[in-house]
Structure formats: structure tokens, C-alpha cells
Amino acid sequence: MTAPASQSPLSIRRFAKLAALGAIGVAFGVLALYALIAFGSRFTPSGGIDSTQATLTWISAAIPAAAIIAAHLAYAKVLFDESKKQSG
């Protein structure tokens, strides 16, 4: 005889809030990594990168960063909603 899914010891509801906070943490981490890339590739008069290359770097780093952040925030919303449901 098996236990119902709502009483399973591996139920997602037990860890949904923690997982949602982890997803938000990943989103902030990716944002911080993007900020580091943007800061490191900024145009300086004495540097070896010009404004065109800096802009291209910012755009090419922003697209995957935005996709990762959006996916993690959407997943965090789903997990927060799941954690608020009644377990019965």
C-alpha cells in the first residue's frame, strides 16, 4: 500500500518556499555576474576595448542573462504558489 502523493515524504510542498528562494537567489547571482561583465568591459580611453565592442559585449551578455533571470523568476512564482496550497 502506498501513501497518497500529498503525504509523500518527498512532496514538493515541503521544500517549495526554499526552492523558490533559491531560484530568486540564482536570478540575483546572474544579475551580479552581468554587472561584473558590464563593468569589466566598459569603454575607457586608455583601455583596449572601444565603445562598439563594449556595446556588443553588453548586448550579447544581456540576452542570455535576461532569459535565465526570467525563467528563474517564473519558476519561483510557480513554487511560491505551490507552497501556499493546502496539503489536504
pLDDT at residue 48 greater than cutoff 90: no
Write out the DSSP string of the chain: ----GGG-TT-HHHHHHHHHHHHHHHHHHHHHHHHHHHHHT---TTSS--HHHHHHHHHHHHHHHHHHHHHHHHHHHHHHHHHHS---
Residue 20: the pLDDT is: 94
Residue-range domain boundaries for the chain: 28-83
Whole-structure pTM value: 0.79
**What does the pLDDT look like over 49-68, one tens digit per residue?**
888 999 999 999 999 999 99
pLDDT at residue 79 greater than cutoff 80: yes
Which comes out higher in pLDDT, residue 46 or 21?
21
> Across all residues in the chain, what is the average pLDDT?
86
